A = this chain, B = another copy of it.
Amino acid sequence: MVTQSSVEKFLDDLASGQPTPGGGSAAAIMGAMGAALVSMVCNVTIGKKGYEGVEAEMKAVREESERVRRRLTAMVAEDIEAFDSIMAAYKLPKATDDEKARRGAAIQAGLKRATETPLDCARACAEVIALSRRASERGYLNVISDGGVGVLAGFTGLRSAALNVYINAPALKDRSFAETATAEIEQLVEFGTAESEAVYKVVRDKLG
């Protein structure tokens, strides 16, 4: 599992000329960092004097942010698998009509997976952004900049995942699926843009 290798090894692999890991995996890690920072704000706030009134809320947010973090961490490997499945499909034989048809279907199946995975990543990142608002509005003031980094990381994970939908969707022959996916990603980007700037403003105002 790629996320069990060291941070330095992951960065080396990202920098290499090998197609995976690439931007899709980086998107999932940025989302997971955003979720982790939301959890951090909750963990620091829970049990802090003067924050008893928000303890139940912080525990509820943490339960969700940890669930989303697990999903996003798993997506790092899923993105690699999806991309590798396209690469494998392109290498299938194409001598006969039957082989050509099988190869074409395998490429389309891979592209569909490589569109669904970043779409799912973007959905999870949108959850990170929504959770970061709850953490930043009511969390312990001294870690508010961490909440701010959390929302920025979540939003960049979302925009980065969107780029992977944009690059794969046009090649899909199932136009109905491609158009539904593109419409959903546009909505997620729109939500993320407005919401992340609003949360960033909450953080910036608290920093004075």
Contact = CB atoms under 8 A, between A and B. Distances in A.
B30 A15 contact: no
Contacts of A148: 23, 160, 163
Interface stretch (A35-43, A93-101, A105-113): A35-43
Given A22-B146, A76-B7, A148-B163, A30 B32 contact: no
B145 A23 contact: yes
Contacts of A130: none
Given A3-B8, A145-B163, A166-B204, 5 more contacts: A2-B7, A11-B73, A14-B36, A15-B43, A22-B146
Interface residues of A, number: 59
A73 B39 CA distance: 23
> What 10 A-B pairs come out closest when comparing CB atoms?
A23-B149, A17-B43, A15-B39, A15-B36, A14-B36, A156-B156, A23-B146, A149-B160, A3-B7, A145-B163
Contacts of A23: 37, 145-146, 148-150
Given A3-B6, A26-B33, A36-B15, A160 B152 contact: yes
Contacts of A44: 17, 19
A204 B43 CA distance: 38
Stoichiometry, as copies per complex, reads: 2
Contacts of A4: 6-8
A133 interface: no
A164 interface: yes
Nearest to A7: B3
A165 to B, nearest CB: 10
Nearest to A40: B15
A72 to B, nearest CB: 9
Given A22-B143, A23-B145, A166-B204, A36 B8 contact: no
A29 interface: yes
A178 interface: no
A73 to B, nearest CB: 6
